Amino acid sequence: MFQVLLALWIVPLIHTVLAQRVCPRPPAIPLATVDKNKQEYNLGEEILYSCNSGYVPHTGSRRYICPLSGKWPIITLRCIPKKCPYPGPLINGNIVGADFRYQGVLSFSCEPGYSLHGTNTSQCLADGQWSGKLPECQPVICPPPPISEFGALSYHRLKPGNISVFQDEIKFECLLPLALIGNETARCLASQNWSEIPECRKVKCPYPAEIENGFINFAVHRTYQYKDRVTYGCNPTYVLNGPAESTCEKTGDWSTKPSCKAPCKIPVNRATVLYNQQRAKVQDHLKGGIQHAETIWFFCKNKDQYCSYTVPAQCIDGNLTAPACFKERGWFSSLVKTDVADMTPCEN
Ligand SMILES: *[C@@H]1O[C@H](CO)[C@@H](O)[C@H](O)[C@H]1NC(C)=O
Ligand SMILES: *[C@@H]1O[C@H](CO)[C@@H](O)[C@H](O)[C@H]1NC(C)=O
Ligand SMILES: *[C@@H]1O[C@H](CO)[C@@H](O)[C@H](O)[C@H]1NC(C)=O
Ligand SMILES: *[C@@H]1O[C@H](CO)[C@@H](O)[C@H](O)[C@H]1NC(C)=O
Ligand SMILES: *[C@@H]1O[C@H](CO)[C@@H](O)[C@H](O)[C@H]1NC(C)=O
């Protein structure tokens, strides 16, 4: 009875030991597959794990052999997703998304004024490449500005070429005598519109203003229009100050007109002075005075060192003041005393 029992116990045991002389199906590893798909593996049989498409081995071994024990060793292989390279840069656009791994998706957008040409998303494929081609951000195009072909307003592009794209500028002109009112340049906006279209208007200026001690050359009473000009002159001995020409502006006003500056009388009766770097006697040569902006130099005396020095005095619109150090001599003293202008010049 016991032997029977023993036999009943041992036979399956032996059978089990013999049956264990194979390896079972190896364990499943995430993201990987085994080359042979079987129920059992012979001792010494080699198996090879491969990472699934889109994944690559990261750590561990791919190759295992069914050992005598019939138990597979610990499978160390770990697979990770492949990485696609940075697909950019996308000029004038943005690449949105940070997942560059297999199956990651990026989307593309363009900055204002640029439109996307190509695909707006891309996926990292199993071969480690992005799907599709990198799109391009191309500037938007503005249609020609809405102006009539034979009107007074015309324009030209500030850049060569047939078309105007985002940020390009065009410059407008009006047929004279019409004046351009508004901004003479317009820019192609992101909205595919021009920033501003000016207009051409008729502009009249009033009869130009007279100036004191001067006159308008060839003045006629007529209608003055945009860009008409007049020139001014001054009466004899007066000097023109400012631009000789005044222009009718698009505001309907004349540009700044000049003025006539008065000559100066020399405020002394008798003196020797320097004028145009030459000695001149006021009573003989400068009775008519000097013109606006001209300068004469008076001689003054340094009493301590008994020498002379010069001080300039400029004529400013009829106003000329002799320097305080200048002393005019009376008729009598001019006979008996040395003129300061004849004294030795001071050292400095
Ligand atoms: C991509 O374009 C499609 C149409 O072509 C649109 O439906 C989708 O919203 C766009 N996606 C993005 C992120 O712009
Ligand atoms: C401009 O347009 C004309 C005809 O419309 C075309 O023949 C020419 O090639 C274009 N030039 C450029 C630079 O696009
Ligand atoms: C005229 O338009 C241009 C754009 O084309 C802009 O830069 C400029 O500031 C404008 N000028 C004036 C006076 O508005
Ligand atoms: C473009 O300009 C036209 C006329 O100036 C205007 O009617 C239209 O609304 C503008 N469009 C955009 C998108 O700004
Ligand atoms: C003349 O010049 C003096 C001194 O520089 C000044 O005080 C005076 O106001 C001026 N007069 C005129 C009419 O410019």
User: Which pLDDT does position 20 carry in this prediction?
Assistant: 57
**For the CA of 193, the nearest atom of ligand 4:** 1
* Mean pLDDT (the chain, rounded): 91
Say how many domains are in the chain. Answer: 5
Q: In the chain, which stretches have pLDDT less than 70?
A: 1-20
Judge if 184 and 148 occupy the same domain: yes
CATH of the domain at 237: 2.10.70.10
User: Which pLDDT does position 18 carry in this prediction?
Assistant: 53
CB 166 within 8 A of CB 140: yes
Judge if 226 and 198 occupy the same domain: no
CB 282 within 8 A of CB 269: yes
Q: Which residues of 205-228 are buried (b: 16+ CB within 10 A; e: fewer)?
A: beebeebebbebeeeeeeebbbeb
User: Which pLDDT does position 281 carry in this prediction?
Assistant: 93
CB 310 within 8 A of CB 271: no
User: Which pLDDT does position 16 carry in this prediction?
Assistant: 53
User: Which helix (H) or strand (E) element contains residue 235?
Assistant: none
131: in domain: yes
DSSP label at residue 343? S
Whose tokens are 């902006």? That residue is 293
Q: How far is CA 4 from CA 9, 11, 74, 106, 331, in A?
A: 9, 10, 40, 73, 172
Q: Model-level pTM?
A: 0.61
**By CB neighbour count within 10 A (0-12 exposed, 13-18 middle, 19+ buried), where does 49 fall?**
buried
**Which structural domain range is residue 162 located in?**
141-202
What's the 194 CA to ligand 4 centre distance in angstroms?
8
User: Which pLDDT does position 11 carry in this prediction?
Assistant: 47
18: in domain: no
Domain end (from 185, 202, 219): 202
Q: How far is CA 264 from CA 84, 261, 318, in A?
A: 88, 10, 4
**For the CA of 107, the nearest atom of ligand 1:** 13
Judge if 152 and 179 occupy the same domain: yes
What's the 185 CA to ligand 3 centre distance in angstroms?
6
User: Which pLDDT does position 302 carry in this prediction?
Assistant: 93
